[in-house]
């Protein structure tokens, strides 16, 4: 199970209180992979995590740190710069070095490209990755929100495997089941990491903040089915929605994003829930809103 640090430090003060408590709860509940990005909370997510790492003896050696680069916010580095994606070698290397500094570590375990850059030059990305790997700054590389063909294009330019495609997968967004993403993960042994596995909370106790693309999600039917299953199995619906992802043979790693220790602990129980094929399909059918053909 992975814990996602996107929401942990909206302000510095929240990072020190809510964020610190969330990271400690996730670590103590047995999450071993922590997901970041250079842009999460304007860099405060990585900084908060680095502070906890320094505080907790032995923690660095027992967790994997993932982060991302490639999104550049509007106004950076000059006020007139637009929001954009940037997979130039210079930006990839610079971003990695800034993340290492904020995290206070020598090596990032998994470095991912956040969203496909429309101008991606695979050879240039490959050169940046090779440099970071050779310098010991990154152990493994992955991508995020890549379509299968985009992953293939980049993989062909690399001498080492891309190990992760981090994509949105949940009972509210089934697109990776039908667009070839999960098939490619199975075929190429790429691990799918599932972001927003609870659709930002819609599949559990409700959403606090959704991405614009998630505002159109309709989860009433699948919500009723989750409620019924929760009654039968005696597990919270969020835990069941995570267990639904874990049953897929591609080895989906859900990234739990709650900032509340009790919900983080609830998520950690998902691997103990084995759904039957019948339960899995009942949830699929209600999520689709229609019978399978």
Kindly state whether residue 200 participates in binding ligand NAP, applying the rule CB under 6 A: yes
The pattern of x and - marking residues 106 through 125 that bind ligand NAP according to CB under 6 A reads --------x-----------
Output 201-207 pairs: Cβ under 8 A, ≥24 positions apart. 201/258, 202/172, 203/170, 203/171, 203/172, 203/237, 203/238, 203/241, 204/236, 204/237, 204/238, 204/241, 204/263, 205/238, 205/263
Q: Which of 3, 27, 31, 40 is catalytic?
A: 40
Give catalytic status of residue 217 as yes or no: no
Q: Which of residues 232-251 bind ligand NAP (CB under 6 A)?
A: 238
Q: Determine the Cα–Cα distance for residues 35 and 123; give it in Å rounded to an integer.
A: 26
Kindly state whether residue 48 participates in binding ligand NAP, applying the rule CB under 6 A: no
Of 30 and 135, which has the nearer Cβ to ligand NAP?
30
Strand segments (E) across 22-161: 33-35, 64-69, 71-72, 84-85, 108-113, 138-144
Kindly state whether residue 70 participates in binding ligand NAP, applying the rule CB under 6 A: no
Kindly state whether residue 204 participates in binding ligand NAP, applying the rule CB under 6 A: yes
Of 54 and 260, which has the nearer Cβ to ligand NAP?
260
* Least Cβ distance, residue 200 to ligand NAP (angstroms): 4
Kindly state whether residue 197 participates in binding ligand NAP, applying the rule CB under 6 A: yes
Report CA dihedral (272, 211, 192, 72) to the nearest 10 degrees: -140
Q: Where on the chain is the footprint of ligand NAP (CB under 6 A)? A: 4-7, 35, 114, 144-145, 166, 195-201, 204-208, 238, 255-260, 263, 266
Active-site positions? 40
């Amino acid at each position: 199970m992975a814990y996602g640090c996107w929401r942990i430090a909206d302000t510095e003060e929240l990072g020190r209180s809510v964020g610190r408590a969330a990271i400690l709860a996730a670590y103590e509940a047995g999450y071993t992979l922590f997901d970041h990005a250079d842009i999460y909370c304007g860099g405060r997510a990585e900084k908060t995590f680095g502070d906890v790492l320094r505080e907790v003896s032995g923690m660095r050696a027992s967790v994997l740190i993932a982060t991302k680069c490639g999104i550049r916010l509007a106004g950076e580095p000059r006020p007139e710069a637009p929001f954009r994606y940037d997979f130039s070698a210079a930006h990839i290397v610079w971003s990695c070095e800034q993340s290492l500094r904020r995290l206070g570590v020598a090596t990032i375990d998994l470095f991912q490209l956040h969203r496909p850059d429309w101008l991606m030059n695979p050879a240039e990305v490959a050169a940046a990755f090779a440099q970071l790997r050779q310098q010991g700054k990154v152990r493994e590389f992955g991508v995020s929100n890549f379509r299968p063909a985009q992953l293939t294009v980049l993989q062909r330019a690399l001498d080492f495997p891309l190990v992760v495609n981090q994509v949105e997968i949940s009972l509210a967004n089934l697109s990776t089941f039908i667009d070839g993403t999960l098939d490619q993960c199975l075929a190429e042994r790429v691990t799918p990491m599932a972001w927003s596995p609870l659709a930002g909370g819609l599949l559990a106790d409700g959403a606090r903040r959704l991405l614009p693309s998630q505002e159109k999600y309709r989860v009433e039917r699948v919500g009723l089915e989750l409620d019924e299953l929760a009654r039968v199995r005696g597990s919270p619906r969020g835990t069941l929605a995570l267990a639904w992802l874990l049953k897929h043979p591609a080895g989906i790693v859900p990234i739990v994003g709650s900032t509340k220790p009790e919900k983080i602990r609830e998520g950690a129980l998902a691997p103990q829930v084995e759904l039957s094929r019948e339960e899995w399909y009942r949830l699929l059918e209600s999520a689709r809103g229609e019978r399978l053909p």
